[in-house]
Amino acid sequence: MLLLKKILYSILVTWGVVTLVFGLFNLIPGDPARMMMGQRTDSASLAAVRRDLGLDRSLAAQYAKYINDLSPISIHNPNNPKSYIYLDSSSYTPYTKPIKLSNSRVVILKLPYLRRSYQSQQTVAHIVKQTLPNTFILAFTAMGFATIVGIALGIFSAIKKDTLADRVIIFLSAIGMSLPSFFAAILFAWLFAYVLGDITGLNLTGNLWVVDDFGEGVHLQLKNLILPAITLGIRPLAVIVQLSRSSMLETLSQDFIRTARAKGLSFTKTLWRHALRNSLNPVITAISGWFASLMAGVIFIEYIFGWKGLGYVMVNALNSFDVPLVIGSVITISIVFVIINLIVDSIYAWLDPRVRMQ
């Protein structure tokens, strides 16, 4: 029931984001048809393209088509290729056979259709499918690194409270928190890939898959992941250290820890069995929040390190005014974000049984 409510809510949020994006991109200046065709086109072909994109319709009609395209359940006209909502098999990939409503209307279940890139003429879905995994790999590696190292360091410094080690950790995490990611990216790239490049063997830029020098095979280059992931993970790492430290300290001062000690459990066992799980709640919340900023941070990092992810594509699309691709990337990122939040909420309920009550 709780989950159902959350899912419904998520759908609502997604719809809001989609509408907002539509509104924003209709406000920015520039004629998409002209951008697509270049400067030297005659007005006849411009008009043709415009009709093709539906730009000659009213804003309401454009919005309706836009939502119809994005919705997994949509209404189409299967017969008339001239129709605004013609079921074009090159655009839509239905899961099921079209369900007939009337002679000129069918309902289909499909993947959201994100249109085609003005530049490459590929479907946006195709581009997203190619690049999103790269972004995921980068983001999850960064977050995994930040979470594991962050919680470990946080708990370590909570146990060693007020010792030198604790102070050093706190000091470093304060620096990490205030370091802007684009600056950290340049600094790290310069330091580890240029100055210390011979020792570390890392490259300034590079993708996960690299075509070798002879242009023959594609090789997996995991080491290219190291620098972008660490750079991206620094700020969440710093925050997680501080959060898990203070959360652990608070948990350790609570009554049930005293109960566990009075039971006869050793300190280590008390820590693992009783303190850890209870102290992780705020940390989990922070991690979910950080995924959002990570998605924003990933754009810079990918660009600086030449990592072929969604962020890299998005920056290039923005430069060349490739509106469908930008819209597609933004919507993809926001849907990812909504899904992550949904997952985190479920983890939260699992960690703290009291949440399930509400």
Task: Classify the C-alpha dihedral 194-196-198-201 as positive or negative.
Answer: negative
Q: Residue 17 CB, nearest distance to other proteins (Å)? A: 21
The one among 263, 272, 296, 339 contacting other proteins by CB under 8 A: 263
Residue 113 contacts residue 91 (beta carbons within 8 Å) = yes
Q: Residue 163 CB, nearest distance to other proteins (Å)? A: 14
Nearest CB to other proteins, comparing residues 93 and 259: 259
Mention every residue, 6+ apart, whose C-beta is less than 8 A from residue 48.
none
Mention every residue, 6+ apart, whose C-beta is less than 8 A from residue 81.
88
Nearest CB to other proteins, comparing residues 85 and 260: 260
Nearest CB to other proteins, comparing residues 129 and 258: 258
Give me 13's structure tokens. Answer: 């949020």
The count of chain residues that interact with other proteins, using the rule CB under 8 A, is 24
The one among 256, 320, 339, 343 contacting other proteins by CB under 8 A: 256
Stretch that binds other proteins, among 41-49, 120-128, 264-272, 282-290 (CB under 8 A): 264-272
Stretch that binds other proteins, among 91-99, 215-223, 225-233, 267-275 (CB under 8 A): 267-275
Q: Residue 264 CB, nearest distance to other proteins (Å)? A: 3
The one among 80, 122, 259, 320 contacting other proteins by CB under 8 A: 259
Contacts (CB under 8 A) with other proteins, residues 269-328: 273-274, 277-278
Q: Residue 239 CB, nearest distance to other proteins (Å)? A: 23
Integer CA distances (angstroms), 227 to 177, 192, 204, 310, in order:
18, 8, 9, 18
Is residue 261 within the footprint of other proteins (CB under 8 A)? yes
Q: How many CB atoms lie within 10 A of CB 331?
A: 20
Give me 330's structure tokens. Answer: 């933004």
Q: Which amino acid is at 181?
A: S
Contacts (CB under 8 A) with other proteins, residues 12-71: none
Contacts (CB under 8 A) with other proteins, residues 118-177: none
Nearest CB to other proteins, comparing residues 69 and 352: 352
Give me 219's structure tokens. Answer: 């090789």
Nearest CB to other proteins, comparing residues 120 and 163: 163
Map tokens 């995924």 to a residue: 291
Q: Residue 284 CB, nearest distance to other proteins (Å)? A: 13
Residue 108 contacts residue 99 (beta carbons within 8 Å) = yes
Helix H segments across the chain?
2-27, 32-37, 43-53, 59-70, 124-159, 164-178, 181-188, 197-200, 223-252, 255-263, 267-270, 276-279, 281-305, 310-319, 323-351, 353-357
Stretch that binds other proteins, among 23-31, 126-134, 216-224, 248-256 (CB under 8 A): 248-256
Q: Residue 161 CB, nearest distance to other proteins (Å)? A: 10
Task: Classify the C-alpha dihedral 326-121-310-212 as positive or negative.
Answer: negative
Nearest CB to other proteins, comparing residues 45 and 266: 266
Nearest to 243 by CA among 279, 297, 294, 289: 279
The one among 26, 80, 120, 266 contacting other proteins by CB under 8 A: 266
Determine the length of the chain: 358
The one among 18, 108, 260, 287 contacting other proteins by CB under 8 A: 260
Residue 126 contacts residue 117 (beta carbons within 8 Å) = no
Residues that bind other proteins in the complex, under the rule CB under 8 A = 5, 8, 254-256, 258-267, 273-274, 277-278, 351-354, 357
